Structure 1
Amino acid sequence: MNPGSRMPESSAPADHGTAPTPGDPTSADPGTVVERTVLGEADIARALTRIAHEIVERNKGAADLLLLGIPTRGVQLAHRLAERLTQIEPSFSGEYGTLDVTMYRDDLRRQPTRAVGQTVLPGSLDGTIDDKVVVLVDDVLFSGRTIRAALDALNDLGRPRVVRLAALVDRGHRELPIRADHVGKNLPTSRRERVRVRLSDVDGGADAVVISAAPAGPATTDGGVR
C-alpha cells in the first residue's frame, strides 16, 4: 500500500482494548451459565476436618454421637466426617447413617414424582436414636425447609438427646428459623444464583463448590444445586 493511502473501512483492525476476553461473563452467549469455583478440593477437605474437630469439641468427645447424612451428597459428607472423627477420637465407632426426608417435604403437592429413598441407621442402634447426639449433615443450607423435613423424620425414629446441623455451605436466604451449628463456608448469594456441590464419590472429577447465575426460564432441578 502506498504511503498516505487509506485502508478500506471493512478491513480496519479491531479495537483490541474493547474486545471481549475468553472467560469474561460479558462475552458469554445468552443463556450460557457462567460458573466460578468458590471451594476447591483442598478447601473442602480442610472445611470437613475443621467441622470434625468442632463436633468433637462441642460434644466433649464422641460418646453417643451419631452422624446422619441427608441424601444425596450429605451422605457422602457424613461418610467423610466419620472417617475424620475416627482419627480424632479413636473411641468413635465410625458408623453413620442415612436419613431420607422425601415424604416429609412440604412441596410434595407441587412435585409429587419425587423418588422415595431409604433411611438407614447403624445396626448397633437397634432402629432407635433415643438419647443420641444426632448431627444432621447436608451439603448446602438454603431455605431451611429440607432440615425442617429432617427434624420431622427424626420424630418417627425416636427422641434424640440433642440434634445439631453441619453444612458444607450456608448460602443464606432462610425461610424458617433454622441455623447450622457447624459450617464449612458461609457464602453470601443472591436468589438468582445457584450453588452446586460436586463430590468425586457422586459426580466424578474433583471435589468443588461452584456458584453460577441461573439462566432465564424455569429453575433448574439438577442434583446438588440449591
Structure 2
Amino acid sequence: MMNVRSYSLGPVQTNCYIVSNKEKECIVFDPGEEAERLIKTIRSNGLKPLAIFLTHAHFDHIGAVDAVREVFDVPVWIHEKEVSWLADPTKNGSSKYAALPDYRVAAPAQDTIIKKEQQFEISNFVFQAVFTPGHSPGSISYIFEKDGFAIVGDTLFEQGVGRTDLLGGSTKILLESIHNKLLTLPEDTIIYPGHGNYTTVGSEMETNPFLNGF
C-alpha cells in the first residue's frame, strides 16, 4: 500500500505529491516551488527519493525541480514535447507574470524523456504514464492502477477541468483525454489533481459540469 503525501506549494498553490512505500522509498511528482520545504520534509520523514516525475512543464509545476534533483541525485522524467519548456519562460508561462522570476530548469538526460505511453516499475512502484494532452501538449497522467489512484496534473479537477488558453492548449483534446484516459478508470479511483482537493472518477462523472453533454 502506497502512502500519498500532498503539499500545496508556491504562489498558485500547486499540489506536489510524494508517494512512498513501506521501505521509505519515494517518488516526487511536480515539485513546483518551496524547494527547502520539500527537502526538509523528505529528510524529516526519512524518505529516499528515487525519481521526479512531471505531469507537465508549466512554471508552477517545475520550480523546485533542479534543487530537489541536485540534493537527492535523482532522474527527472517528462514528456518529450515539453522538454524545451523547462528552460523557456515564454513556453512554461512564467514570463507572463511580472511578479514571478523566469523559471529555467535544466533539461533531463535523453533517457528520462517519455516518448510513448509506458509502464514504469521502480523498486515496487508500478504505474502507467498515459498521455492526457489538452491543458498542454505534453501533459501526462500517472495511474497507479493497483493502488487505486492517479496523479493527473492540471487535466481534471474536482468540479473542473484544466484551462486551455495557454500555449498548445485545446478544449476538444482535453475533454477527449479525460473521457478516454481517466473516466475509463474504475469509479472509485482517487484523482489527485494539480490544484485543489482530491476527488474520484465516479464523483466527476456524476457531478462535474464541464463533462456533462460531451
Same fold (TM over 0.5): no
Q: Which has the higher strand share?
A: 2
Asked which structure has the greater RCO (Cα within 8 Å, sep 6+), the reply is: 1
Report the TM-score, using the length of structure 1 for normalisation.
Answer: 0.28
Computing the radius of gyration over CA atoms, which structure comes out larger, 1 or 2?
1
